[in-house]
Amino acid sequence: MKPVEEAAIEGSSRTSKQDWLNLAIKTLVEDGIDQVKIQVMARKLNVSRSSFYWFFESLGDLHEQLLQNWLRSNTDPVVDHALRPAPNINRAILNVFQCWIDDRLFDPQLDIAVRIWARRDPSIRAVIDEADTRRIDAITAMYQRYGYDEKNAFIRARVLYFMQIGHYTLDVDEALDVRVSYVPAYLLSFSGQEAEPGDIAAFDAFIGSLGRRQKMAKD
């Protein structure tokens, strides 16, 4: 039998830390946290179990890095887009909407998987609560920049954010063109102001560029 160090080096030469993380994320989304197991993943990667320890101190370390990945991929973009400058509140809201359209900016299935994980682990629940607060605070600040008072901004931010998270949780089956057709009405609901033609045109342009990127990726 090979020494642990030798086996780990052999395994590490055939896989990367990102390979383990990608598989752990995929497993979390498809099967839940209970199936994020070292032995199971090693078998799927066709490496020795000991190679896991070349990249992670423990399964708990992997769990922590899964959470950090989720925060980077699903919270940072929402905060960033809420803070982006825009000529009016509706255009600012549409900046946030980009996260709901482009899964590179927000992965709804990963978000749901982490929330399911949190139902059985209070420490994960605490991380989610902190992330939700960061997202809502950023959207609240967005409204305040356009003249909404503190309480009004906070409630509007909650309505916007909770609606979208609920949309994912309910797994609403709705074609993209149908969702886009509702955008002017959503904007009126979220801001209290009618959208300008230029606001909708800018969002349509974003969707068009996203569609072209997706087509190129498939080709």
Amino acid in the structure at residue 14? R
Q: How far is CA 4 from CA 42, 60, 89, in A?
A: 15, 20, 58
Beta-carbon-side half-sphere exposure of residue 157 (alpha carbons within 13 Å): 26
* pTM score: 0.88
Q: How far is CA 150 from CA 93, 139, 141, 154, in A?
A: 17, 12, 9, 6
pLDDT score, position 15: 85
169 vs 157: CA distance, rounded Å? 18
Three-point CA angle 194, 189, 86, nearest 5°: 60
pLDDT score, position 42: 95
102 vs 121: CA distance, rounded Å? 29
What DSSP letter does each residue of 69-120 carry, written as one string? HHIIIIIHHHHHHHHS--SSHHHHHHHHHHHHH-TTT--HHHHHHHHHHHTT
pLDDT score, position 5: 42
Question: Hey, how many other C-beta atoms are within 10 angstroms of the C-beta on 117?
Answer: 22
10-residue stretch averages of pLDDT, the chain, 219 residues long? 41 77 97 96 93 95 96 96 97 97 94 96 95 98 98 98 94 89 96 95 91 68
